Chain A
Amino acid sequence: MSWVLIALLGVPLAGAAVLLVPSRPAPSGTRTKAGTETNAGTETGTSTGAETGGGVGTGTGAGAGTGTGAGPGGGTGTNTGTRTSTGAGGDAGGRLLRTHALVVSGVTFGLSLILVAAFGGDAAGARFSTDLAWVPGLDLRFHIGVDGVSLPLVVLTTLLTFLCFVYLCWGRADGPGQLLQPKPGGGRPRALVFTLLVLEVGMIGTFLALDLLLFFVFFEIVLIPMYFVIAIWGGRARRAAAIKFILYTLLGSVVLLLGLLFVWAQTGTLDMVALARAHGAGMSRSAQVLAFVAVGIGLAVKTPMWPLHTWLPAAHTEAPTVGSVLLAGVLLKMGTYGFARIAIPILPEGAAAVAPWLGAFAVIGIIYGSLACLAQRDLKRMIAYSSIGHMGFVLLGFATLTPVGVNAALFGNVAHGLITGLLFFVVGAIKERYGTADISALGGGMLGRLPRLASLLTFACVASLGLPGLAGFWGEMLALLGAFEPAPGLPRSLYLTFMAIGGLGAVLTAAYFLVMLSRVTHGRSIEIVHAPLLASAGGAGQAAGDVTAGDVTAGDVTAGDVTGSVTAEDITAGGVTAGGVTAGGVTAEDVTGSVTAEDVTAGGVMGGVTVGGEDDGPAVPAHARAGRMRDVTGYELAAWVPLVALILLLGLWPKVLLSATDPVVQSLLGVP
């Protein structure tokens, strides 16, 4: 059965490699097509990345003839003729690519399910292992295997990757957040699929590796793809966020490498299985403490632990939806997994010495994350900070060094992956629709306008704050329980304090989620329809002009940017009768005094269309084309329902997961 593990790594790798080969002729292909279009999406686009990511209403169907247009970076509006031809040209290749991505990630997910099915029985000890010499000179072996700790994470990885591709590829793949549609100046779908597949290889490999250096190699492999996911498909400040992400995590992983090499210098082996079995034999206490600190810092950057977390909010905020999902859902888990797999079992004495500190940082992280969340105005940023709080619970679980605590940590790990994955999906969808994730800008009353989306948001938030019966509960509760009775040798009174603070943190968690929900989903339904034309456009400032209650102000219009269009019917449908239309800088043939002009081709309209007011009533149909606010769509549902189901499953039946991790945890901790 060891072929399954090889295949788990090989399938996405091969899938990525296949993409590499025919991508070469793509640029020449586009060059022959007079450069107005990009079918492989590699050629054009401004460097600031004017992606029409929020082109919600534009060009959804074949019948979208009414002035929908997302022109090339050059900036003039394109007529529908070229538009459709681009669509037709890119579609065949696009569909092939989407099928390819879905099949590869689906097969990988299937393989992980086969692994689950074949796993069964006693979970302790590495199964299906492969052990080959790779670099004898460095003592580096290609040693992979799976056990009860890594299996759930492998499944989580393949599941989330698959769901990300479902989200990206389902249907015609031109909905909000579906980055695979070839778009001028954006897209580059082939590169995105390639990057995500390589990312998957790195993530799976990290969880499978049983050799310290091999673990490190896989740990590093994810850096570059994640960097590009943020730097290319991210939001406005993506470049800085990506650089921060990669520098921080690289610094962490270099320290980790030093720690691993130090372990090696002391014990002379890199085999995790043998090292875990030895339980620190052969290393002096001081050496273990040193090694634990080095390895711990390296892992804590990735986790992230409180003082080392500063890369996380920026990265999460700027990453595209799928990037955020994978970052929160899987990448953070690599850090905590390292604690369970390397730091604690291999260096028990070091762990015992450092654990109180780890616990202290963990509870600081919990409180800090919660307080920071209370202060956030941006939804994505808030969820990023909430991750810091949740990872605090996970670390607190590890810091107890008891089976209960470590089990709690591993459970919390998986639960957080599912819940935060879902949260980022939902928030990403909100951001695509509204064009902003700013809480106050979102207004309120989402339950009224987008009932299903708002319900899902509520569900995810409630799961995240740890409502009993949902997955988030068990991780926090067991971690606090573990802190109630820490391992012998650890100061119990200190841990009781940790527990109390952690409990307070749980209350704060509930507080910020509920406050956020009350502000976003409930409340007065002020309709602010931010024209989603430029949801992710870079460059000039946002929110320059609003169409507010009959006022069309296209203030900061810089021709030559991305073009969008506001069809007149929609605005009139929104109850806007020809008010004062200020079109500053628009070549205003189309923008007449009354907004009955057929097209307001506003090149680079930054901002939103705030329609309505107190008594908008039925006059504002949510499906108005300009501010089209579709509720949860098919592809979103397809990607999210499995997560919802799993959150419910784990919440109601936590034994599924705990029975897999517990035997391994017992053996890793050396409990007789």
Chain B
Amino acid sequence: MIQSIDYYAVAPLLVLALTGGLVLLLDAFLPRGPYARPALGAVTLAGVLAALGVVVSQAFRAGEAMRTFCVPDGLAGVAGAAPGSPDLVASAAPSGAQLGAASGALWGASPQAPPATVPCSFVVDDFTLIFAGLALAAGVIVVLLSMAQLASGEIPVGEWYFLLLCTLTGAVALPASRDLIMLVVALELVSLPVFALTALRRYDGRSSEAAVKLFLVSVVSTAVMLFGVSLLYGVTGTVYLERLAQILREPLTGTPLTGTTAPGAAQPPGTGAFTAPQGHEAFTGPSGHEALTGGRLSETLAGADGSGAYVSSLHIAYDPPPVLTVAVVLVLAGFAFKIAAVPFHAWAGDVYQGAPVPVAALLSVISKAAGFAGVILILAGALGGQAGTWVPLVAIIAALTMTVGNLLALRQRHAVRLLAWSSVAQSGYILAPLGVHDDEATSASIAYLVFYAAMNLGAFAVVMLVSRSRPRNELDDYRGLAFRNPVAGVALVFFLVCLAGLPPGLAGMFAKIVVFRELVGGGGAWLAAVMAVNTVIGLYYYVAWAVRILTPVPVGEGSGAEAGGGRTGWVPVGIAIALAGGVALVFSLAPQVVLDLLPEALVASG
């Protein structure tokens, strides 16, 4: 069948993808003139800006959220009656089809089936727009930094920009994804090109090591997450986040038949044949999982035959099946890798340091934003009903992440490494609001993320500038930067103070206030206390760095060293610094700009 696609909704993706192709073609066919590199950069920049323009135009478009890639009309009736049906995607897999048939039959028999809304895979709403806008704006900075990075000529240009655009495509697609499959695919689209980007600086041991590390960690995390996702699918029989939210919420509201679906479908697709298209047999399903579910279920299943089983299954229904908890934990672990949350943070330092600076900036902002978009979509969006399971877990992860990140950052002497660990700590702050269950929590996270993106990109831009002339890039290389290059020095001090969250860096301070407010209001007092202590720890290393910048260098020691360094390619970095600085300044003076952008209520939460 043919489904209609809203091309306006997917336009940013198309623009990015097509630009990526164009860059690759141009790289292949453009004569190797001196202007080839800047030209490709300009094309990339234009593509990113065009995509950003489309996103902005979408943002100004009033009205409903745009939805596309929906279940076609022809299937809508079935899907509507059977929200558990995994339709298109699942029908590709034979075992899934059986399962779908099973639960579909169940749902078909259910008179209490909720009214149908057509589930869609791609939704452009406020949430999508803010993340897409964030990714693209950060993309502009990263492209500008790349221009400087590529000016030296040891990295193939076409591949670099192509991979960069692929990552951006993924980052824009991810917040719009509203089904599990697309979510995973988009997340991989964000991650995969980054390995290659990291490794593009050939014959550099550190780069290669970083790439391999990133690759291994990312693949493992993807596998873990896929396992969780497949469990989720198995439990609920749907991949659509909306449906997931509905189904997982219903058992708690006590609709018997909905409840029966969950344990019935809890079987892995491989044993799908075991599930006959009859309700009663479905109840026997969990008994096959005694080892997994433990003794708790066994007593309720003691008389599991006939109508007695039906009654006892009601009790099961009121408890979420344990396998769901496993699924939630696995998915969370998968995302924790991506956002470098403790205990899956160890890769951050080496990878950031080994990768070229623009890639580190990309990892710390774009890739991280994508990860958080995924976390929020799955946790708050789809698993809102399971908040009891993941809220304490997220709170603990957040507390650990900020503490470990800060403590590790304390001892760093390398600028990028310090930023790496500090961005791990910042991940903790972003995650913290999700650790208290509240409707506003996601807004606080997103707000912090937006503030953080501006500050951190700015810091990376200055680091990029310094790394041109001082490749060692240790903190001591920043001594006296404010006197060698006043603009860059003052800008970096400003960004660092922002990250520390002190005036005059009001942006960072307001960001922290937003999070603190959420924690205090939502009853996460202990988390707020942990974060308070962490703010102080963080201040120490940010200020120590800032002081280095402002400390004059003894005459004759430093002033000559920078003259030999790369003077080329500072213009785009300068523009990047100016952009980030301007944005951070605006955020400082009028933080309402960010707070106005926040989505009213989270998608798929209803």
Q: Which of A135, A221, A228, A243 has the most CB of B within 10 A?
A: A135
* A residues near B591, Cβ cutoff 8 Å: 135, 137-138
Contact of A264 with B503 at beta-carbon distance under 8 Å, contacts A35-B555, A43-B483, A46-B554 already known: no
Interface pair A224/B552, CB less than 8 Å apart? no
Stretch at the interface among B28-36, B353-361, B511-519: B511-519
B478-503 interface with A by 8 A CB criterion: 479, 483-484, 486-487, 497, 502-503
Task: Tell me whether B117 is interfacial, beta carbon within 8 Å.
Answer: no
Contact for B552 among A47, A251, A264, A265, CB less than 8 A: A47
Indicate whether A439 reaches chain B with its CB closer than 8 angstroms: no
Q: Is B535 an interface residue (CB 8 A)?
A: yes
Say whether, besides A136-B592, A221-B503, A258-B529, A73 and B479 are in contact (CB < 8 Å): no
> A135-B592, A243-B540, A250-B535 in contact; A43/B552 too (CB < 8 A)?
yes
B555 touches A47 (CB 8 A): no
Q: CA A23 – CA B594 in complex, angstroms?
A: 32
Is A110 in contact with chain B by the CB < 8 A criterion?
no
How distant is the Cα of A247 from the Cα of B536 in the complex, in angstroms?
A: 6
Contact flags (1/0) for A190-217 with B, using CB distance below 8 Å?
0000000010001000000000010001
Contact of B516 among A45, A73, A250, A258 (CB under 8 A): A258
- Contact of B521 with A by CB under 8 A: yes
* B545 CB to nearest A CB, Å: 13
Please, which residues of chain B bring their CB within 8 A of the CB of A224? 497, 502-504
What separation, in Å, do the CA atoms of A601 and B577 have in the docked complex?
47
- Within 8 Å CB of A642, what residues of B? none
- Distance A47 CA – B514 CA, assembled complex (angstroms): 38
Interface residues of chain A, those whose CB is within 8 Å of chain B, are 23-24, 27, 31, 35, 42-47, 72-74, 134-138, 198, 202, 213, 217, 220-221, 223-224, 227-228, 231-232, 239, 243, 246-247, 250-251, 254-255, 257-258, 261-262, 264-265
B329: interface (CB < 8 Å) = no
Chain B residues close to A by CB (< 8 Å):
479, 483-484, 486-487, 497, 502-504, 506, 509-510, 513-514, 516-517, 520-521, 528-529, 532-533, 535-536, 539-540, 543-544, 547, 550-556, 559, 590-592, 594-596, 598
Q: Which of A47, A232, A239 has the most CB of B within 10 A?
A: A47
Q: Within the assembled complex, what's the spacing in Å between the Cα atoms of A55 and B535?
A: 41
Q: Are A255 and B595 in contact (CB under 8 A)?
A: no
| A-B pairs, 5 with minimum CB distance | A137-B595, A254-B532, A221-B503, A265-B521, A261-B520
A138 to B506, CA, bound (A): 13
Among A31, A42, A239, A247, point to the contact of B539 (Cβ < 8 A).
Answer: A247
Known: A47-B552, A224-B504. A265 touches B520 (CB 8 A): yes
Given A137-B596, A251-B536, A257-B513; A42-B504 close (CB under 8 Å): no
Q: Across the interface, name the chain A residue whose C-beta is closest to B533.
A: A251
CB distance from B475 to the nearest CB of A (A): 13
Docked pose: A47 CA to B480 CA in angstroms: 9
Report whether B517 and A261 are in contact in the complex, using a CB–CB cutoff of 8 Å: yes
A35 vs B557: C-alpha distance in the bound complex, in angstroms? Answer: 12
Q: Determine if A220 and B552 form an interchain contact, defined as CB atoms under 8 angstroms apart.
A: no
Q: Is the CB of A138 within 8 A of B514?
A: yes
22 contacts between A and B (CB under 8 A): A42-B483, A44-B552, A45-B552, A73-B554, A73-B555, A136-B595, A137-B514, A138-B513, A138-B517, A198-B504, A217-B503, A223-B502, A223-B503, A227-B543, A246-B543, A247-B539, A250-B539, A251-B536, A254-B532, A258-B532, A265-B520, A265-B521
Contacts of B529 in A (CB 8 A): 258
Chain B residue with Cβ nearest A72: B555
A74-B556, A138-B510 given; 8 more Cβ-contact pairs under 8 Å:
A27-B484, A42-B483, A135-B510, A135-B590, A138-B514, A246-B543, A250-B535, A258-B520
Nearest Cβ distance between residue B476 and chain A, in whole angstroms?
10
- Rounded to whole Å, the gap between the CB of A296 and the closest CB of chain B is 15
Taking the closest CB of chain B, its distance from the CB of A334, in whole angstroms, is 14
Residues of A within 8 A of B592 (CB): 134-137
B539 with A27: CB separation less than 8 A: no
Task: Return the contact of A255 from the options B484, B532, B552 (Cβ within 8 A).
Answer: B532
- Residues of chain B within 8 A of A44, CB atoms compared: 552, 554-555
Bound: A227/B503 CA distance, A:
12
Instruction: State whether B532 touches A243 (Cβ < 8 A).
Output: no
Complex: chain A residue closest to B487, CB-CB: A24
Q: How far is the CB of B415 from chain A (nearest CB, A)?
A: 18
Rounded to whole angstroms, the CA-CA distance of A27 and B592 in the bound complex is 37
With known contacts A221-B503, A250-B539, A138–B486 Cβ distance under 8 A: no
List residues of chain A with CB within 8 A of the CB of B503.
Answer: 202, 217, 220-221, 223-224
Question: Chain B's nearest CB lies how many Å from the CB of A295?
Answer: 13
A251 touches B483 (CB 8 A): no
Give min CB distance, A153 to chain B, whole Å: 20
Residues of chain A with a CB closer than 8 A to B596's CB: 137
Min CB gap B288→A, angstroms: 48
B516 touches A135 (CB 8 A): no
CB distance from A345 to the nearest CB of B (A): 21
Q: Which residues of B contact A246 (CB under 8 A)?
A: 539, 543
Residue among B539, B540, B594 having the largest count of chain A Cβ atoms under 10 Å: B539
Alpha-carbon distance A44/B503, docked complex (angstroms): 28
CA distance A217 to B507 in the complex (A): 11
Q: Could you tell me if A247 and B540 are in contact, using CB atoms closer than 8 angstroms? A: yes
- In the complex, chain A residues whose CB is within 8 Å of the CB of B556: 74
Q: How far is the CA of A255 from the CA of B530 in the complex (A)?
A: 11
Nearest CB in chain B: distance from A590 CB, A? 25
Looking at the assembled complex, report how far the CB atom of B489 sits from the nearest CB atom of chain A, in whole angstroms.
Answer: 10
Please, how many angstroms separate the alpha-carbon atoms of A213 and B483 in the complex? 35
CB pair A217–B497 under 8 Å, yes or no, is no
Beta-carbon contact of B555 and A74 below 8 Å: yes
Whether B535 contacts A254 by the Cβ 8 Å rule is yes
State how many angstroms separate the Cβ of A196 from the closest Cβ of chain B: 15
Closest CB in chain B relative to A445 CB, distance in Å: 41
Docked CA distance A73–B480 (Å)? 15
Q: How far is the CA of A168 from the CA of B594 in the complex (A)?
A: 43
A8 to chain B, nearest CB (A): 18
Query: In the assembly, what is the distance between CA of A613 and CA of B514, in Å?
Result: 67
- Bound-state Cα–Cα, A42 to B509, Å: 29
| Minimal beta-carbon separation of A98 from chain B (angstroms) | 22
A137: chain B residues at CB < 8 Å are: 514, 591-592, 594-596, 598
Q: CA separation between A46 and B554, bound complex, in Å?
A: 5
CA distance A213 to B547 in the complex (A): 28
Chain B residues near A257 (CB-CB < 8 A): 513, 516, 532
Distance of A9 from chain B, by nearest CB (Å): 13
Cα–Cα, bound, A243→B547 (Å): 10
* Chain B contacts for A232, CB-based, 8 A: 550
Q: A138-B510, A262-B520 are in contact. Are A251 and B532 (CB under 8 A)?
A: yes
Q: How far is the CA of A202 from the CA of B550 in the complex (A)?
A: 21
User: What's the least CB distance linking B13 to chain A, in Å?
Assistant: 30
Q: A73-B555, A243-B543, A255-B532 are contacts. A261–B514 as well, Cβ < 8 Å?
A: no
Distance, CA A247 to CA B513, complexed state (A): 18
Whether A261 and B539, one on each chain, are in contact in the complex, defined by CB atoms closer than 8 angstroms, is: no
Residue in A23, A224, A239 with the greatest tally of chain B CB atoms within 10 Å: A224
CB distance from B558 to the nearest CB of A (A): 11
Are A254 and B536 interface neighbours, CB within 8 A? yes
Question: CB-CB < 8 A to B510: which residues of A?
Answer: 135, 138
**Closest CB in chain B relative to A150 CB, distance in Å:** 20
A72: chain B residues at CB < 8 Å are 555
Assess whether A27 is in contact with B532, with CB atoms less than 8 Å apart. Answer: no
Whether the pair B483, A261 counts as a contact (CB closer than 8 A) is: no
Min Cβ gap A350→B in Å is 16
Q: Give min CB distance, B594 to chain A, whole Å.
A: 8
- Which chain A residues lie closer than 8 Å to B543 at the CB level? 227, 243, 246
Most buried by A among B506, B555, B559, B594: B555
B442 to chain A, nearest CB (A): 15
Bound-state CA distance A23–B550 (Å) is: 14
Min Cβ gap A302→B in Å is 14
B125 CB to nearest A CB, Å? 19
**How long is the Cα–Cα vector from A135 to B506 in the complex, in angstroms?**
12
